[in-house]
Amino acid sequence: MYRRLGIALAVAVIAAACSLIDPSKNRVETFTGTLQPGSAGSGEQTPNINVSKTGEIVVTVTSLTPPVPLGTPFGVILGQVSSDRCLSWQNNQFATVGTAAIQTQVTAGTWCIVIHDPRNIFTVPETFEVRVSHP
């Protein structure tokens, strides 16, 4: 009986692993937008991201224009879309240009990214470019 249970468990683990996407085979999308000063409460949402399978997502803001001093923090939210709204799932309020702001596992579904200024640091509109690697 224990042998059958062990075999069944091994098959379940292998089946679950096969549904994951190797991060090196992820799709990479780039989005741009403009973050307005005083966007602490709202921010700028990118177009929705359709994730086809469970796997790793990595969100990196690659540029802000005009350039900001190295290490200037801003916010990046990863959310799930529900009823045409972006519901926050993970929020990094200390993101910086050029480093992964969010790196986590997601399931299949419709996801969204919001770039925001939680401390109202920016005094002029900032054009951003964000790179999203996802399954």
Each domain of the chain, given as residue ranges in start order, spans 23-134
Average pLDDT of the chain is: 86
**Minimal CA–CA distance to 95: which of 61, 134, 126?**
61
Q: Percentage helix, strand, coil, to 5, in the chain? A: 15, 50, 35
Kindly report the pTM of this predicted structure.
Answer: 0.81
The arithmetic mean of pLDDT across residues 100-111, rounded, is 97
Asked if residue 12 has pLDDT above 60, the reply is no
- How many CA atoms lie within 13 Å of 58's alpha carbon, on the beta-carbon side? 14
Over the stretch 34-55, which tens digit does the pLDDT of each residue have? 999 877 668 899 999 999 999 9
b/e burial code for range 77-105 (CB count within 10 A of at least 16 → b): bbbbbeeeebeeeebbeebbbeebbbbee
User: Does residue 106 have a pLDDT over 90?
Assistant: yes
CATH class of 23-134: mainly beta
CA-to-CA separations, 101 to 12, 91, 133, in angstroms, rounded: 33, 9, 12
